[in-house]
Amino acid sequence: MRCDLFCSVVDNFGDIGICWRLARQLQSEHQWQVTLWVDDLVSFQKICHSIKPNLASQLQNEVLVRHWTVVLPELTESDRPDLVIEALACTIPPSYLQWMASFTDKPLWLNLEYLSAEDWVHGCHALPSPHPTLPLQKYFFFPGFTEQTGGLLRERGLVDSLVKSRNSTELQQQFWQKLGLLDAMNYQQKISLFAYSQAQIRPWLEQLANAAQTTLLLVPQGQLATDLTQLFSELQTGRFDHNSLSIRILDFMPQPMYDELLACCDINFVRGEDSVIRAHWAGKAFIWQIYRQEEQAHLIKLQAFLDKYLQHASQEQKACIEQLHMAWNLEQDISTEFATFKEFSEQIQLHNKKWQEYLIQQQDLASNLVRFAENKLIMSRNFS
């Protein structure tokens, strides 16, 4: 099976993060030949350090990475894939669509949509949509949290590996040493903070600084890291210490290291789509900052997720998790909500374990996608 996967790096690396994970999994676990077309190799290099942005074509982790430019290189019949994936609202070039339409055995065309917990996706998942002018149709494929969707990205053995990191002091020490954080194990609480801007973050930081418990706050590079550097000039060196709080800015890291970071922290603030899925597999308490949309439309999507995630939680748990999520997503002071969240930390941990077990019972996104594509291709070729 051959697959062309198109990815446009819109912002914040979430799009390329998802596509890079999917491409690697299709290759390593399903033995597909994958070509990943990416329009921004400089951003891609941030999460895959071996990428060479000046090359038009290169092999990375057995995946062929090609630079998606305005004018595509000339394609021949030998380049024809079995499957074409249009990922996360990017638009395949018209010249490529015309090339697809020229074949008798046309490639299967999938539109990999954004993650959604809203119930309406159940009726739209796997539906076809004919092209208005070309003899092509594409199918909508929705990642999600139920068996009526395409599922979530989850590599084979990932959860077991993260459980080992979570339960092993020795493995955690080795991880912190790899990051150059030799004193990380000395802190009573470790929090990863990956977020968009937060206008009212200072009161919460002061709360952490004045707490009896020591906190190591780990902030990956991004918008919030930039904002915090402006708030605390000392962070220009990558570190700021005040009473019980130590803030460290982290350089971009390969995806497997970020997964391990989440497993080694006690609480994870995550943003967008890629990191929230990884927080599920890390199994720790998490707070999700969903991608912002106009007219607060994202809050409806967030509530749809919380309704599913908290369906079997106690009323007290549900209230404290919902209140913290809403305050964080509205850029409000979260000091009060976070304190309540901490009081329920043990119960939240148990709830997350049950939620994770529920998700693991479902098939992962790559396997669902492979099964769907192979069935459709067999049907179309037998029919033709």
The answer on pLDDT for 70 being more than 70 is yes
Beta bridge partners of residue 109, listed in sequence order: 84, 138
Domain ranges (residues) in the chain: 2-152+363-383, 158-360
| pLDDT beyond 60 at 383 | no
High-pLDDT (> 70) share of the chain, % = 98
pTM: 0.94
Fold that domain 2-152+363-383 belongs to in CATH: Rossmann fold (3.40.50)
Q: pLDDT band for 169, please (50, 70, 90 cuts).
A: very high
pLDDT digits (tens, 9 = 90+) for 281-330: 999 999 999 987 777 788 999 999 999 999 999 999 999 999 999 999 99
Domain boundaries 158-360, corresponding CATH code: 3.40.50
Check if 2-152+363-383 and 158-360 are the same fold: yes
pLDDT at 32: 97
Cα(352)–Cα(354) distance, integer angstroms = 5
- Report the C-alpha gap between 110 and 365 in whole angstroms: 13
Instruction: List, by residue number, the catalytic residues.
Output: 15, 273
Residues 6+ apart with CB under 8 A from 58: 51, 52, 64, 65
